[in-house]
Amino acid sequence: MSTRKKDSLTVVWAALFAALVMWYFIFGLKLFNFWWSMTAAGLIFIAIATWQQGPPVKFNQINGRAILIGLATAVILYLVFWVGNIVSRWLFSFAGEQIAGVYGNKAQAPAYLITLMIVFVIGPAEEIFWRGFIQGRFMEKWGEWTGLLAGAVAYTFVHIWSGNLILMLAALICGLFWGWLYKQTGSLVPGIISHVVWDVVIFILFPVA
């Protein structure tokens, strides 16, 4: 255990640099299809986290309580963004254009395919990597609250390549929200369910834009 703690942040910094590079290609250069790129990055994230920490979810963590928490928090976060859409458009003249830019990626794949990618790879991968691995290691090293904040900041920072302030603000809110959920439950299951359901609802079923 002492060896892992000593070396943990070295591995984390390397993983964060890899994420920053991947997000540069996905959000900055935009050389490839957004959804296939996010899926590929998600598979890499899962591989890194599993290599470092073993299977991210134990079967006994999947229960009614975890599912209920995941669904309830997805609804809460959707309502936060529904209100945030109204407030941001009132506060910032550029908000509408930037929000539309986020939804512009929907045109790159059919809705059913985007949904499958979110449910089976993208949503779970982001929780496994950003909360379970990155935030988890930061919490080990710096304590629960500092680790949560550091993980949320890292999650926000990699989105800098998008040049989209609204997207970065959304990433910060999500990072803090799901980071808090992981800290409180000690399990990735509620966060994965929350993330997947929220993604599908806000991007596919009931967009806020």
Q: Is 201 exposed, middle or buried (0-12, 13-18, 19+ CB in 10 A)?
A: middle
> How far is residue 196's CA from residue 182's CA, in Å, rounded to a whole number?
15
pLDDT tens sequence across 89-130: 999 999 999 999 999 999 999 999 999 999 999 999 999 999
pLDDT higher than 70, residue 21? yes
Domain boundaries, the chain: 2-205
Place of tokens 């509408």: 96
Q: Position 47: which residue type? A: A
pTM, 2 dp: 0.94
Cα angle 13, 50, 119 (rounded to 5 degrees) comes to 105
Residue 67 has pLDDT above 50, yes or no: yes
User: What's the one-letter identity of residue 49?
Assistant: A
Residue 136 sits at φ, ψ, to 5 deg, of -60, -45
At 74-83, the pLDDT tens digits run 999 999 999 9
